[in-house]
Amino acid sequence: MLLYRIAPEGSWAVAEFASDPRLRILLSDPFETAPGDWEYEKEIPREGASLLAPVRPTKIVCVGRNYMEHAKELGNSVPEEPLLFLKALSSLIGPGATIVLPPESQRVEHEGEIAVVMRRRLSRGATPAEARAAVLGVVCANDVSARDLQRKDAVFARSKSFDTFCPIGPAVWVEASLEDLAVVTRVNGAERQRGHVREMAFPLLDLLLYSSRMMTLLPGDLLLTGTPAGVGPLVDGDLVEVEIPGLGVLANPVAAWRAHE
């Protein structure tokens, strides 16, 4: 089941499959009601529906160097414990929105990722079963990064948090299997990245439990779980796509920053 958020009101809408031609408008709050108990209002054509970022988190938690081959390609070792950092909430955009290349960076790169979306509060002391039950689903994410600034700075805050540097969408895959997920990134139709959760240094449930020891994860919060090898530059005019097979494709055009904007 796929959960969308659509304009103009930010209503929730549901489709059984990514290819469904119609969306069902959800009456229930997906963070208050279990998916099996959701109630619906009406159906609308999916074609022409304006999709928003599917969740509005209180924080965006990210994991660095969680794919071994990606750590190697950047000349880094795999950390002994998950490497956490945060992206600014103002970096969040939805499907179709433009990734803007800031003038402060000369090398902005894509990082296609699987992001976990929380449905319930998860805090210190949770069990693996409680962590799994706290998850709403997963969503495609792009941890856009100013690589030159990341190498220059002691922390990742600036390089990861420019406006438009966190596209997510197109929907939340509700109750997806956390042990059998893949992610693919394409730029202008050419594949650049492909990874599977089996290749992660730290599995998704371990990341949730580890993160919740430092900060309580709240409904709607995002956990970006790392990117596979194959990161590369984005330039003005590119179209970058992140796909989780079974969920759909998050597509965002890329444009250089212009002063009049």
85 CB burial (10 A radius; 0-12, 13-18, 19+) = middle
The average pLDDT across 187-202 equals: 97
Considering only residues 136 and 69, tell me which one the structure prediction assigns the higher pLDDT. 136
- Quick check: 254 and 239 in contact, CB under 8 A? yes
Q: How far apart are CA 88 and CA 181, in angstroms?
A: 26
The band of 259, judged by pLDDT with boundaries at 50, 70 and 90, is low
| Residue environment code for 198-231, b if the CB has 16+ CB neighbours within 10 A, otherwise e | ebbbbebbebbbbbbeebbbbbbbbbbbbbbbbb
The average pLDDT across 128-149 equals: 98
State pTM to two decimals: 0.96
- Sorted by sequence, the CB contacts under 8 Å of residue 152 that are 6+ apart come out as none
Handedness of CA 155, 74, 58, 127 (dihedral sign): negative
Nearest to 1 by CA among 19, 13, 14, 20: 14
The average pLDDT across 184-209 equals: 97
Q: How far apart are CA 229 and CA 220, in angstroms?
A: 28
Q: What per-residue confidence (pLDDT) applies to 77?
A: 80
Q: What per-residue confidence (pLDDT) applies to 260?
A: 52
- Quick check: 144 and 109 in contact, CB under 8 A? yes
Mean pLDDT value across the chain? 95
AA identity, residue 152 = K
CATH code linked to domain 60-256 = 3.90.850.10
Three-state DSSP class for 63?
strand
Is a pLDDT exceeding 60 seen at residue 261?
no
Q: What per-residue confidence (pLDDT) applies to 74?
A: 77
Q: What per-residue confidence (pLDDT) applies to 153?
A: 96
Is a pLDDT exceeding 60 seen at residue 242?
yes
Q: What per-residue confidence (pLDDT) applies to 9?
A: 84
The sheet with strand 232-233 has its strands ordered as: 145-146, 108-110, 232-233
Is a pLDDT exceeding 90 seen at residue 76?
no
Q: What per-residue confidence (pLDDT) applies to 164?
A: 98
Q: What per-residue confidence (pLDDT) applies to 73?
A: 83
Where do the domains of the chain lie? 2-45, 60-256
Q: What per-residue confidence (pLDDT) applies to 170?
A: 98
pLDDT digits (tens, 9 = 90+) for 3-34: 999 998 899 999 999 999 999 999 999 999 99
- Quick check: 173 and 137 in contact, CB under 8 A? yes
How many other CB atoms sit within 10 Å of the CB of residue 39? 9
For the chain, percent of residues with pLDDT exceeding 90: 92
Q: How far apart are the first and last CA of the chain?
A: 38
The verdict on whether omega for the bond into residue 8 sits within 30 degrees of 0, i.e. cis, is: yes
The average pLDDT across 194-211 equals: 97
Nearest to 83 by CA among 93, 96, 70: 70
